[in-house]
Every structure is written in structure tokens, then in C-alpha cells.
Structure 1
Amino acid sequence: MLSQPFALCQLNTGLEAILYPPSYQESLTAANSYQETAEKLETQTAVKKNWMSYGFDFDNEQDDRNAMHATFFFSVTCCLVFGSFIFAYVPDFQLRDWAQREAFLELRRREHLGLPPIDKNLIDPEKIVLPTDEELGDTEIII
């Protein structure tokens, strides 16, 4: 036998009359209506628990919670999500790409002119002060 999924519904016309036999429809409509069987329950007031403030408002619980939720929303969403998105797509602010491109251009120019990649006299030897042999003593020099 079919279960009664529509205990409070009335099936009287159309496709429902074909699908369900009249005896089944009578059992569906024979149920007491909602208003006849409903009992009014007394509403119970919820016991308030001790409220611990989040530190935003010490007088009003609702204002304290709203301020806490707004603060965490803006700090997480705006700072972390949008901040990391901006950081990922910020232009090359330290000019690393520019320095590498410039080095390749200079290397190509020096190769084209037949010069070594780095000039041995890049720094003027007159400006370099080296220690004397007496100052070095027995220090091992590795070249």
C-alpha cells in the first residue's frame, strides 16, 4: 500500500485523481486540519548566558558583535585577500627585470665590439690600495 506523503493536502482534481484511487483520497482528506489539531505552546524566554565582550563595546552585546564581525571581515577580506592580489600583480618595483635586460644588452654590445664581458680595469688600479708583503706576513693567498 502507498504511504501517505500528503497527509494535510487535499487531492481532488486533475492528475492526482487519476493517480490516487478515491479511497486513498478520502484517507488524505479525512485528516484533521492544522487548526483543529494545533496546540498553542507557551513561548519560553531564553536564558541569557553571561556575555563576554570582544573588546569593541562593553555596554551593548549587539554593537560589540557587529564591530567584531566588521573588523574581522575587513581585516581578512580587504587586507589578506586584496592585499595579496595587489602584491602578486604589482609592477617590478625593485627594477629586477630592468637590470637583467640592461645586463643582456650590455653583454651583447660588448660581444659585438669584441670586448671581454667585464673589463679588467673596471676600477682604476691607481685607486686600489693593497697591503705590502711585510703586512701580509705568512698569510696564505689563494688566487
Structure 2
Amino acid sequence: MMAALGRCARRLLLLRGFPARGARAGSGPGGGAAAAVVTPPPAAAAPRQQHEEEEDMVAALRKNPDYHGFDADPVMDVWNMRLAFFFGISLCIVVGATFLHYLPEHGMRKWARREAERMVKERERLGLPVLDSNYFDPSKLVLPAEDEE
């Protein structure tokens, strides 16, 4: 993301006639003007590939002033930008938030409370005490014989 923003800023500077490299503010971990880093001007013998790439960017920006950085063709640039924002915003954020909203609750606390309230009402309806010292009915438990221990 930051690299894409850096490329866009570099393209705008090239379009306005400024050099590709210069003072960069806020590039450090602290950001802001206190972290400004001044880089030396580019050497006279800049790499040929970078120079050609910058010329291509300037040509694309002059051809299409509303250049979004997706394609040199203006029509494809707009369509690619729209698709990127549709999938990035609509699908990721909206569908992702909907998915997270409808996830089952963690720990099932609400279900446990509803189940406890249902059990209390059932025991009150049958005339049994709400709480019993035996969790299971002792007459239904099968215990091992004492001589097997």
C-alpha cells in the first residue's frame, strides 16, 4: 500500500517537473517533519531501466491526467480502478463485516443462560427444587461393585 502511494507521489512530482528523488518527510518510523530524511540528488549515470520507467510514467500522466496507476490506457485504467475499489471495499469490508456479525457467539454464554432458565421453569412446573445436591439421579447411576477396587 505504501509503495503504491510512493509511486503515485513520484508520478505526480514527475508530471509537475520536479526530480524523482529529493527530501522525503515522514518516511521514518516516527513520521512527521522531525523524521525528514534528505537523500542526495540522483547520480548523473542513473540506471537506464529506471529512467525509461520514469519517462513512461510522465508520458502516461500527460496522456491521461486522471491516471490512477492501473493501466496506461485511460479506459482500462478507470475500469481497473473501479474493479479494485469494488472488490476492495464492497466485498472485503461489507461482506467481511456481515460474516463477522453473524458468527456464532464465543463461549455460548447466551445459549447457556437460556438453557438454565428453561431448566428452572421445567423444574418449577414439576414441583421439584430448583437446585439439587445431586446433578444426576442417583437411582440411575451404575456404580462398580466395592470388591472390584
Specify which structure has the higher proportion of helix.
2
| TM-score interval for Structure 1 and Structure 2 normalised by the shorter chain | 0.3 to 0.5
TM-score (normalizing by structure 1): 0.34
TM-score (normalizing by structure 2): 0.33
